[in-house]
Amino acid sequence: MSLETTRTNEINNPVDLKPNPEVLNTIDELISLHNTSGCRVVYVRSSDKYNVNATKGNNRTGHVPGAMNLKWNQLLENSRNLEGVRKFKSAKEIKSLFDQAGVDGSKNKSPLPASSKVYFYCVCP
């Protein structure tokens, strides 16, 4: 018996994506929140963009002062399933990545209380 898989890039059903204002913040709100205690801001694009080494047509470069850097795709498994989708790493692995990035407060900040919020952001062109 042989197993055959087919991978498709087609989306059979259109997806209507709409932003949810309850979970989104403007850059000004993000900067204001970042200056409060019990808050962490994490820039989720490459370290080159974080350090202003690669603009690739973006008008905005760099990062919110004091923001940490953890590229978003580090949270995903390297392998893909049969549909070509990468899944998130385990909670333990993600926590370890957050700790390494200093989200837990181990780098340059005080420990993060359990009631704190972490904001993730990227800059779009």
Instruction: Write out pLDDT tens, residues 116-125.
Output: 778 887 765 4
CB 105 within 8 A of CB 112: yes
Closest CA to 66 of 45, 40, 47, 46: 40
- Domain ranges in the chain? 27-121
Would you identify the CATH topology of the domain 27-121?
Oxidized Rhodanese; domain 1 (3.40.250)
Closest CA to 124 of 20, 29, 15, 43: 43
Q: Could you please report the per-residue DSSP string of 53-87?
A: S--TT-S--S--TT-EE--GGGGEEEEE-TTSPEE
The DSSP bridge partners found for residue 80 are 86
Which pLDDT belongs to residue 1? 43
Cα separation, 125 vs 50, in Å, equals: 14
Instruction: Write out pLDDT tens, residues 19-78.
Output: 788 878 777 887 777 666 677 888 888 887 777 765 666 666 677 777 888 888 898 988
